[in-house]
Each structure stands twice: as structure tokens, then as C-alpha cells.
Amino acid sequence: MSTRTLLLTAWYFPVRVLQWQDAVKMIYEGTVDVLAEYDEVLRSPSTTWMMPAVVRLRRSVGRHRRGLKFSRMNVFLRDRFRCQYCGQQFRWGELTFDHLVPRSRGGRTEFRNIVTACRPCNTRKANRTCDEAGMFPLMLPRQPDSLPLGLPVLLGAIPSEWAPFVPSSEMN
């Protein structure tokens, strides 16, 4: 059973991946339209639905004035899933984030102090500053105003039902 549902904006841009239960709730509430379905059937005592594969928001969501929320995914998107020390691109599960100024030395968990790192580089840098470790990020971290539209490219295999809605460069 596939448990992931692709959420699109009202303009058909991929926004995020939902659990199927959240997608069904949104369908029931009338906030999304179903664009593609999996072969699995969902049954309740009163109704039967096909498992949603791709849903689209019916209305555009207003932009938040407070700026972009700090999250692991947003850091990975800002850095384009690329380790900022070795420069290699990785899948979601192979990445961590690294504090330039370690937390033990007063470093904060915020966009300007965090970079994407692969596990080997993060282990090598350990609990040291960039100067002490001799490891410097390819780009200085910054607070992004926005992030690239599109599905995070390296989350893993993308279901075939998503193909018409995801740019081809995102599927490689």
C-alpha cells in the first residue's frame, strides 16, 4: 500500500508529500481536488474511495509574512540537498545538518548557523568550529526569502502516478 500523496498548489506546483490519511481528510473537507489515484481502495462503512496519489489545493494559500519557517527540509532545500563541505548531492535520509558554531559553544539552531552536511563530513567536523576542523562550507548559510518550487528531488523513488505533475529534472 502506498502511503504518500503529492500535494500541489492551486497552480499545479508540487508543495509537499502528505500521508494518505491527511490527504483523505483534506478531500473530505473539500480543500483539495484529486488529480490521480493509486489502485488501492479505501473503505469505510459509508463510502469507498480510491487511494489519492496526487491532490491539488482548490485555493491559493496566502504567503506568510513572518518569513520562512526553519526546518530540516527547508535547510536541505536551500542547500539543494548538497553537502556544504564535500559538495556531493545526497538523498534526504543520507543528510544531516551541521552547526557552524556548535551548540555547546552557544551556536543557535537557525538558518544563519546551519548547513547541510553528509554524515561522514558531519562526523569529521564533530563538535568543532570551521577554523578548528579546517572545514568550511561552500556557501555561507543565509536566511532564505523563498525556496525553489518543486518537490524535494532526492526523497527516494517517485511513484509513476506523480510523473505528469513533477518536472522531469526532479525525477532523476
Q: What is the CATH number of the domain that holds 69?
A: 1.10.30
The pLDDT value recorded for residue 169 is: 45
Q: Looking at the structure, do residues 134 and 74 belong to the same domain, yes or no?
A: yes
> Domain ends where: 62, 87, 104?
62
How many structural domains is the chain composed of?
Answer: 2
Q: What integer is the mean pLDDT of 41-56? A: 91
Q: Looking at the structure, do residues 69 and 145 belong to the same domain, yes or no?
A: yes
Q: Looking at the structure, do residues 94 and 147 belong to the same domain, yes or no?
A: yes
Evaluate whether residue 124 is within a structural domain.
yes
Cα distances from 100 to residues 17, 40, 133, 140, 142, in angstroms, run 29, 46, 10, 10, 12
Q: Looking at the structure, do residues 53 and 123 belong to the same domain, yes or no?
A: no
pLDDT for residue 1 is more than 70: no
pLDDT for residue 67 is more than 80: no
The pLDDT value recorded for residue 162 is: 85
Evaluate whether residue 169 is within a structural domain.
no
The widest CA-to-CA distance across the chain, in whole angstroms, is 64
Q: Looking at the structure, do residues 73 and 126 belong to the same domain, yes or no?
A: yes
- Which residues are CB-neighbours of 141 under 8 A, at least 6 positions away? 78, 84, 100, 111, 112, 113, 114, 115
Residue 6 sits in which domain range?
1-62
Alpha-carbon span 23 to 54, nearest angstrom: 9
Q: Looking at the structure, do residues 86 and 38 belong to the same domain, yes or no?
A: no
Q: Looking at the structure, do residues 46 and 116 belong to the same domain, yes or no?
A: no
The pLDDT value recorded for residue 107 is: 93
pTM: predicted TM-score of the whole model, two decimal places: 0.58
| 98-125 per-position pLDDT tens digit | 999 999 999 999 999 999 999 999 999 9
Q: Looking at the structure, do residues 5 and 79 belong to the same domain, yes or no?
A: no
Query: Hey, which residues does 19 pair with through a beta bridge?
Result: 4
| 27-36 per-position pLDDT tens digit | 999 999 999 9
Q: Looking at the structure, do residues 135 and 99 belong to the same domain, yes or no?
A: yes
Q: Looking at the structure, do residues 45 and 74 belong to the same domain, yes or no?
A: no
